[in-house]
Chains A and B, each alone.
Chain A
Amino acid sequence: MPLAEEEVSGIALFIPEIYDIVWSLVVLIVIAVAFYVVIMPKFQAVFDERAARIEGGIAKAEQAQREAEDTKRKYEEQLSQARVEASKIRDDARSEASHIIADARSRAESEAEQITANAQRAIESQQQQAMVSLKGEIGTLATALAGKILGAKLQDNATQSAMIDQMIADLDDDKQ
């Protein structure tokens, strides 16, 4: 099989042509300049900026976190203060309530006592009154009865009053 139309020696591959050298160098220098001057600095700048952004972002986030922690601490302080206050108020209210209850109770008790005492006194006076009026009435009634029963036997006053007294004493004894 034919390898090539025109036989070329392989050694020719390794013998550089002048135009090849020229164009290789031109291409290499152009690429190197482009990389050194334009491409790498630009990408480096972008990398640096990104790093700075990220670091800045981290710093900002840290600050925000610190602020949030501050706020939280403040809020918690306020909360505990409020809690203490509330419990104080509750205690106060409770003690006041018990005070009020005790007050009302004592007032009611004294009132009740007063009422009881009044009632007692009224009962006693009525009893007295009833006693007095009863005494009088019983006296007359008894006298009248005795007069009717005894009639003639008891004409003099002395005997009459002695008998009445005797009767009352008996009544008292009976009552007891």
Chain B
Amino acid sequence: MDIITLAEVAGNISLIGYGIAALGPGLGIGIVVGKALESTARQPEVAGRLQTLMLIGAAMIELLGLLGFVAFMLAM
């Protein structure tokens, strides 16, 4: 590394790709959890069932983020 170089962009373009890939699932999980909270506030008696369904949905969405991570790993 040259001492005069103040900033250097190092790393892999796949990192940026993973960052973008994390965006969508982030929004998705936010919506899922928010809606689950809303529903729980509206009908607290089905909170347990709602939580289960929320986690199933969140797991599905999480997979998309993880696919981004896998693609990032594959590209390394």
Task: Name which of B29-37, B49-57, B58-66, B68-76 contacts chain A.
Answer: B68-76
Summarize B's interface: helix, strand, loop or mixed: helix
Contact assessment for B10 and A10 in the assembled complex, using a CB-CB cutoff below 8 Å? no
Decide if A1 is an interface residue (CB 8 Å cutoff): yes
Q: How many residues of B contact A (CB 8 A)?
A: 7
Any B CB within 8 A of the CB of A11: yes
**Any B CB within 8 A of the CB of A9:** yes
Min distance, Cβ B46 to any Cβ of chain A, angstroms: 27
Question: What are the residues of chain B within 8 A of A9 when measuring CB–CB?
Answer: 74, 76
Residue of A nearest to B12 (CB): A3
User: Chain A's nearest CB lies how many Å from the CB of B4?
Assistant: 19
Question: Chain A residues near B72 (CB, 8 Å)?
Answer: 10
- Minimum Cβ distance to chain A for residue B11 (Å): 9
Instruction: Encode B4-42 as 1/0 by CB contact (under 8 A) with A.
Output: 000000100000000000000000000000000000000
Expressed in whole angstroms, the Cα–Cα distance for A13 and B72 within the complex equals 12
Q: Is A14 an interface residue (CB 8 A)?
A: yes
What are 13 A-B contacts with C-beta separation under 8 Å?
A1-B10, A3-B76, A9-B74, A9-B76, A10-B72, A10-B73, A10-B74, A10-B75, A10-B76, A11-B74, A13-B73, A14-B70, A14-B74
8 smallest CB-CB distances across A and B, nearest first, come from A10-B73, A10-B76, A10-B74, A11-B74, A13-B73, A10-B75, A9-B76, A1-B10
